[in-house]
Chain A
Amino acid sequence: MVSLLRNQKVRNALLQVLYVGSIAAMVLAGIVIARRNLADQGITSGFDFLFKSTGWDVNFSLLPATANDPYWWYFLIGIINTLFLGSVGLILATIVGTIVGLARTSSNDLARLLGRTYVDIFRNIPLILQVFFWYAIITHLPTPRSAHEAWGFLLTSRGLYIPFPNVGSAAFAAATVAVIAAIVLPAWLGRTSRLAQPIGQRRAIQLAAAAVALACAAIILALGRLPDTPLLDFPALQGLNLRGGLRIPPEFATLAIAIAIYGGSYIAEIVRGGFKSVGTGQVEAALSLGLSPWRVFTLVRLPLALRAMLPILANQYVWLMKATTMGIAVGFTDFFMIVALTINHSGQTLEAIGILMAGFLAINLSLAAVFNRINKAIALKGNQLRG
């Protein structure tokens, strides 16, 4: 027996079994105890509850939702809300971050100082404090009767009202897809392998593709317009309330602003790091070839910086997606808040937590997969020594 324990292989196998076994035992014991505790409270475990109606409302949803809808529909709404808020926050944060990051790498001392102040302030204050701050600001805006108005936009304590095209929701969704295609298609066509033409002629095809997609969007909007209404619907005061336009609820606006500002300060640092990593020799070589500063930027600095930035940026985007869970602080029904509400109302604790984990795992893995594809597509091909 003792000699068996002295055997390295046996000992290793035993160690592994012990380690994995004890962790599995802990998890299993937890689940068993939880099931018994929940059963004592009259809650039967299982996923049957997914098909029962919830009996409570969500305050934000892109899909139609009533209190009679089943739980699985609410989880779907939660995921879509998280993804929607996440993508809006992500796009805004990228815009803010790019501007601030470029300011930080500019040759102008004043612009650098401005960018640095921005990053130092907003990076060093917790996101949730910023969320509370913006929520307090927005909910203390004037009532609809005395709203701030500018170019058809209305700022009120009940949300932000913006002019919106008078079209059906299906037509609007189709038009959105067309606009996205107008942006993605030229980039997709720009990959060397897709078109045989040399670069000069390729540009014309890319432009044509974008134009066709945009024209499609315009046609869809024109056809999908609701009968007997103007093309753009401006919000206006009617009685005590505001009518028309699109209302962005305060909760959504708060989170989008906070994520844009806070995430922007992080992305600015990533952008700065990316541009700093471009070797001065590369830029000098491009300048000595006679390229104009603008072309040096678009043809040399930007592509090289993008390559260096992308892996870090991908991490940051995953982080921003997870930051949407701040929604619970202001009452925005994101995925996590739906899970928390489900636990409160139905008591199906274990199942809801399982769904939460699976949901975030799926979101993170798909984001990572997308960025791995992009990364692979723009990585330098072949073996080369870089210095």
Chain B
Amino acid sequence: MEMVVVAPPAPGRLEDLRRRFFATPLQAVVSLACLTIMVFLVWKLLNWAVFSAVFTTSGGPEACQAAAGACWSVIAARWRIIFFGLYPYEGQWRSALACVAVVVMTVLSCIPAFWTGRRIALVWGAGTGLFYVLMKGGVLGLAHVGEEAWGGLALTLFIFVTTCLIGFPLAICLALLRRSELPWISRTTGLIIDGVRSLPLISILFTFAVVLPFALPQWLQGDKLYRVILGSALFFSAYQAEIVRGGMQGVATGQEEAAMALGMRYWQRISRILLPQAMRNAMPATINQFVISFKETSLVVIVGFFEILASGNAAYGTGEWRFAYVEVYAFIAFIYFIFVFSLSRYGAFLERRMSVSER
């Protein structure tokens, strides 16, 4: 006997709408409330940011202040200070180019074809080197610009990139030391990692910027910028080490035992067997850690660096644009949002991709 399957008639558009949003009285109330909130917020926002906003600098700050909406003229007038800080005016194209180099480098390292130890090191080495040469100058006919004049977006990106560059290898070392079979090595490393993790980043940055000069001999002190980067790298590596260690725990012990049975030496086992699999396991959490540490670069404003947040404060803080603080903060928030959101979406994509390949 054959069964006849009759599909229920497809609901019409109105019926579909009713089922999705007005199935029960409660659903209807929730839907209407959400709709009201959304329409209200979107309308308010659009009205402020677009319809009643002033975009040109022609009227000057006075005309802008009188307008009902946003005053984007402050961005048009002060974008250079927000992006480049105190970098010399005629050299600002270098700062812009350096930012592009870092962005290209980040995008390249998101492509799976570059995910071997050597290639990723090459990309990051080249990108950071290019950034440094462009910013610092002194070679190839570029005028020398000291670190104290760096600022804005370029400084934010520089701190982020160097933090990762120093912090990532350090994290792997810490993770390996922590899982060492020698009890005193693993215990001491554990103490360092947990100690750093229990402190707030601001206090570490403060210690490295202000307190460390007392505790170091003169020849070891270096520039304040590099001390702060070192502090932020240490903080990053303490968190990342735990992520890497988690990834290592996910690798079956049989893998390492098999490598040992094949007669592989310690470094071969680590670099060929353990780390590749561990990094794969740790990938989503690692991206998340990158996202967090990108946001946390903004904390250096507290120890007196002129990164993008501080240069934003300066852009509205003086003189005639004093009233336009919302616009400046919205603009900087938007810049951060672009970077952080794309990175975290990429992380989510990676997680999906990996969960598919595991099935």
Contact = CB atoms under 8 A, between A and B. Distances in A.
Contact of B217 (A33, A125, A323): A33
Given A111-B30, A136-B329, A329-B302, A33 B200 contact: no
Interface string A136-156: 110010000000000000000
Contact of B34 (A20, A110, A132): A110
A128 B299 contact: yes
A124 B215 contact: no
Contacts of A365: 198
A128 B30 contact: no
A356 B199 CA distance: 9
Main SS class of interface, B: helix
A20 B184 contact: yes
Nearest to B32: A110
B261 interface: no
Contacts of B30: 106, 108, 110-111
A126 interface: yes
B37 interface: yes
Interface string A319-362: 00011011011000000100110010000011001001100110
A127 interface: yes
Interface stretch (A11-19, A190-198, A375-383): A11-19
B202 A349 contact: no
Contacts of A34: 211, 214-215
B313 interface: yes
Contacts of B301: 128, 329
A133 interface: yes
Contact of A127 (B37, B195, B207, B295): B295
Contact of A33 (B37, B216, B298): B216
Given A114-B38, A133-B333, A19 B184 contact: yes
Interface in B203-220: 203, 206-207, 210-211, 214-217
A349 B301 CA distance: 21
Given A126-B336, A128-B299, A37 B214 contact: yes
A141 to B, nearest CB: 13
Interface in A98-121: 106-111, 113-114, 120-121
Contacts of A4: none
A128 B217 CA distance: 33
Interface in B92-107: none
Contacts of B325: 133, 136, 140
Contact of B313 (A12, A110, A113, A132): A132
Interface string A1-42: 000000000001001100110010000001101100110000
Contacts of B34: 108, 110-111, 113-114
A129 interface: yes
Contact of B188 (A19, A111, A121, A329): A19
Contacts of A340: 206
Contact of A133 (B177, B201, B329): B329
A136 B214 contact: no
Given A30-B215, A110-B34, A356-B199, 19 more contacts: A16-B184, A19-B177, A19-B184, A20-B184, A20-B188, A108-B27, A113-B34, A120-B341, A121-B337, A125-B336, A128-B309, A129-B333, A133-B326, A322-B199, A325-B200, A329-B302, A343-B211, A356-B203, A364-B198
In order of increasing CB-CB distance, the 7 nearest A-B pairs are A30-B215, A110-B34, A322-B200, A34-B215, A126-B295, A16-B184, A124-B340
